[in-house]
Structure 1
Amino acid sequence: MKRLSKYLVSLVVAFSLILPVSHHASAAAISVYINGQKQIYDQPPVAENGRTLVPLRGIFESLGADVKWDSKTNKITATKEDTVVTLTIGSKTTYINGVKTLIDVPAKVINNRTLVPLRFVSEAFNAEVKWDGAKMRVNITYNETDEPGQSEDLTISELVELNDHKVVKIETNTGQGSGVFVGEGLILTNAHVVDQMTDAAVYFSESTLEWVDGIVAYDEEVDLALLKLQHPINIDPVKIGSSYDLVKGEKVVAIGSPLGFQNTVSDGIVSNLYEMDGVRVIQNTASTDHGSSGGGLFNMRGELVGITSSGIDGSNADINFSVAIDEANKWKSYFTMDHSKLPVMDWNPLGPKLISGVSLGMTKEDVKEIEVGTLVEESANSLIFTDIDLMNYYVTAEYIFENGKLIGLEVYFDEAYLFDRNEAEDLFYGLTYELENEYGYADEYDLDWLDDGLNPEIAALWYGDSTDIPAIYFYVYENDYAEMESTVRLYISLDHILEE
């Protein structure tokens, strides 16, 4: 296997350094080498809670950084060229060029010397760090001539060798997509990949998988989500770059699982860089397809610069879009967090989307904030809105709540009595088609007006379940006056229908 140049900046190796160190490691046994030179400190490195701590001043000054100490605030500032790092004794909060970052073990004073975790060293000044468990030895390398962060471009094969195993296929109960390791057992993907899911698995190969424990963070607006695996995985995270370093025409490589073909590699160029609805987007020509969503877009230094999100079908211009990795900067503190401390949201905090962007599971206040119709009635367990445009018809929607959460929706087509059977069938088949696109074919269809006694009707029924798929009863019926009325009914479980 071809080794990377020592000048390649690598957060990845830094993470693998930490895992082998046990609680019982002898402090005196750990040695530190920088660019091949053994470092001698008056306070030897120590191991604490599975983390190796080293003298901050000794390491930073060896890397050419200027270190200043403020005794009044217990704050340390280390500066090298364009990189400024600040941290406070006893605090896990640090800042690198003003960006907040959390470290697992805070800086502490031992024998009048300040010690910090080696993971922090690697992130601070872009050094490559490796752990030799057999020799209890830390090897740190950095480029002494080039500016921090600069490295030679990789070939595509080198880039794939570096990152291929860090990109995974994600399968949920609602679909399939891709994801990228950005932390210890932490996967970055698109929000729409995990929308409405109640369980998911990550595939490292066709036969190796790990179950997802839950969602750490979710932002529908920028279409990004963080997933926590049930167990930490011994796979180093990708190195994070920035879309602001890209230029039009620059070569990029996409890795994902289009149509389920795991970890397919494609290359292209950056076609454009701009904001779309307030979200920074990278337009590129690296070929992608359904299932690529959530995969990685890399620059030729092997840095993750975007998350593949969408493309335009049928275009001859290879128009594909990735959400810029910079949109995930607000979650950087999670990237370096210990797996056991990563928070997890409730599964499927918002259920299936209904109309007007409203989702099952919302509170009444959530619905009132999003619904664009006119609120005409409110009770303890319902909200009724009128003047809602659905499929070019004005409808009235009654939202039904239980224990403060939206559990169902009943929709009335206000002008349904004007329909004849042909118009009613057009409405029925049009909306049924939309529901089939969302939930698959119905479990039951009644397409015969003549077998329903006094009130002929046509209907479609989805059984649903008690988790993420609602039961849906959609029907159009003819009343005693040969006028048409129609209702769409959506519930969390079939029990709600049977109770009617």
Structure 2
Amino acid sequence: MKKIIISVILVLLLIPASASAKSTSLSLVINGNYIASATSPIIINNTTYIPMRALFENIDFTVVYYPEYKSALASYNKGPFEIAFTINSNNVDVSSTFLESTTKKIKISGKPIFLKGTVYVPMRAFSELLGANVSYDKYRYAVYFNSSVEKIRSKVYPLVGLPLEEGAATNNIDIVNNDTKKVLSAKEIAQLMDRVGYVISYDNQGNPISSGSGFTLAGGIFITNHHVVENSSGILVKLDGTVYDSNGWYKFDNPTTDIFGVFLSTSYNENGGITGISPSKYLNYDVNLPEVGDKVYAIGSPQGLENSLSEGIISGIRTIDGITTIQHTADIDHGSSGGALLDEYGNVIGVTNAGISGGNLEFAIPIKYVIDELNKLSN
């Protein structure tokens, strides 16, 4: 009888310890850094899943999720390729963005899933695709994902016919080596004009009410100012020889930060889902604030003069009505609103939105506010 009582007590003592261990959040470590995220990795049926953004945004990708298609596009910031994948499918499209696009369809060993409002990707399947090393430490209750620019390029480039040799494709402006921060000339910056468009907003009778500028980021998302589209029923965008009509559909509109975003397409369904062709060219971005004295370029359509280029410097970082604002001297005018403010490496750092007449006082909204809005779309 005593042995039975003692056994029961031991079992009761062990149960809380075991339950406590199971409730501990699984940590994610990427390239030696613990990643802070609102959601943690999870293990389901012996498969480890990592929150999509926690993975891709910490290995130099820009990722956009399209909830209407349950799919995502991860664009590599340090090379000319992108990866498209869909929830509950192990088919992945890897495409080059160098010159004419080349796409390779690949079957990976796991499927992305959507759970409690978060997109998760199978860690081992994507490590195999990207040439990364992964491991699990049961004592620290952590998963490790180790990668590098060289490993990613050496694994992916051959799949889509990209050259591994450094500088082998320097005629393509999409390849900007962010490791070495190659400074671009004004002529090279000008090659990015096909990512910047002319915007006309119209009322419910189809009459134009205002005009401005805008630019594309990865995934066909088009950015302009809120005040360019305010009180409109839709916008027409002339971009790289194609005219897109938003038909009133948009993804975010923030009057406080004066930014607006829409996924451009030549056609939409009744729910605003993309059914047509979207822009394939886009600008890379840098969310870090520039420093006073940094050289910058503005591309927009001042006074309707499409794709005009000007250059200047950063003259200050201000806080206006609680919003961080970039002050610069790259000349803008009416019609420039919503255009791109670029650093000397070709990255968009701000959305041009205001100027003061009679002086070289121009302003832009930092691109970080745009990325914050895009991140909300996948939450």
Q: TM-score, normalized by length of structure 1?
A: 0.43
Q: Which has the higher contact order (CA 8 A, sep 6+)?
A: 2
Name the aligned partner's letter for residue 229 of structure 1: L
Counterpart Cα distance in 1 of 2:213 and 2:155: 28
1:195 matched to 2:230: yes
Q: What does residue 397 of structure 1 align with?
A: none
Q: 1:234 to 1:80 in 2, by over 3 A?
A: same
Q: What does residue 156 of structure 1 align with?
A: 186
Q: What does residue 169 of structure 1 align with?
A: 198
Q: 1:176 to 1:74 in 2, by over 3 A?
A: farther
Q: What does residue 136 of structure 2 align with?
A: 69
Identity of aligned residues (%): 22
Counterpart Cα distance in 1 of 2:374 and 2:165: 23
Q: What does residue 227 of structure 1 align with?
A: 262
- Secondary structure of the structure 2 residue equivalent to 1:238: coil
Deviations 1:20-76 (A, max 9, x none): xxx999x9x9999xxxxxxxxxx9758989xxx9943346556xxx64436799974
- Secondary structure of the structure 2 residue equivalent to 1:255: strand
* Structure with greater Cα Rg: 1
Q: Name which of 229, 247, 250 aligns with 1:215.
A: 250
Deviations 1:88-129 (A, max 9, x none): xxxxxxxxxxxxxxxxxxxxxxxxxxxxxxxxx99xx99699
Conserved? CA contact 1:44–1:55, under 8 Å:
no
Deviations 1:178-234 (A, max 9, x none): 1110132210111111111102111025x6311114120111111111112233424
Q: What does residue 304 of structure 1 align with?
A: 348
- Secondary structure of the structure 1 residue equivalent to 2:217: strand
Deviation at 1:142, TM superposition (A): 9.7
Superposed, 1:305-324 pairs within 5 Å as 305-315=349-359, 318-324=360-366
Counterpart Cα distance in 2 of 1:139 and 1:46: 24
State the aligned residue count: 256
Counterpart Cα distance in 2 of 1:184 and 1:164: 17
Counterpart Cα distance in 2 of 1:57 and 1:12: 17
Q: 1:58 to 1:130 in 2, by over 3 A?
A: closer
Deviations 1:126-185 (A, max 9, x none): 9699878xxx63548598xxx964421111111221x21111111111210111101322
Deviation at 1:264, TM superposition (A): 0.5
Superposed, 1:9-24 pairs within 5 Å as 10=77, 13-15=80-82, 18=84
Q: 1:14 to 1:46 in 2, by over 3 A?
A: farther
Counterpart Cα distance in 2 of 1:216 and 1:277: 24
Deviations 1:247-286 (A, max 9, x none): 1111001001111111100000000112211111110000
Superposed, 1:386-465 pairs within 5 Å as none
Q: What does residue 8 of structure 2 align with?
A: none
Q: What does residue 263 of structure 1 align with?
A: 307
Deviation at 1:303, TM superposition (A): 0.6
Counterpart Cα distance in 1 of 2:157 and 2:363: 38
Conserved? CA contact 2:356–2:362, under 8 Å:
yes
Conserved? CA contact 1:10–1:128, under 8 Å:
no
Q: 1:196 to 1:302 in 2, by over 3 A?
A: same
Segments of 5+ residues of structure 2 without an aligned counterpart are 1-75, 97-105, 113-122, 167-176, 203-208, 266-275
Q: What does residue 254 of structure 1 align with?
A: 298
Superposed, 1:446-485 pairs within 5 Å as none
Name the aligned partner's letter for residue 209 of structure 1: V
Name the aligned partner's letter for residue 363 of structure 2: F
Q: 1:166 to 1:260 in 2, by over 3 A?
A: same
Counterpart Cα distance in 1 of 2:230 and 2:363: 19
Q: What does residue 184 of structure 1 align with?
A: 219
Name the aligned partner's letter for residue 245 of structure 2: W
Counterpart Cα distance in 1 of 2:146 and 2:197: 37
Q: What does residue 160 of structure 2 align with?
A: 137
Conserved? CA contact 2:311–2:331, under 8 Å:
yes
- Secondary structure of the structure 2 residue equivalent to 1:314: coil
Q: 1:73 to 1:295 in 2, by over 3 A?
A: farther
Segments of 5+ residues of structure 1 without an aligned counterpart are 1-8, 33-42, 82-120, 338-342, 344-500
Counterpart Cα distance in 1 of 2:323 and 2:200: 26
Q: Name which of 309, 327, 332 aligns with 2:369.
A: 327
Conserved? CA contact 1:268–1:285, under 8 Å:
yes
Q: 1:218 to 1:126 in 2, by over 3 A?
A: farther
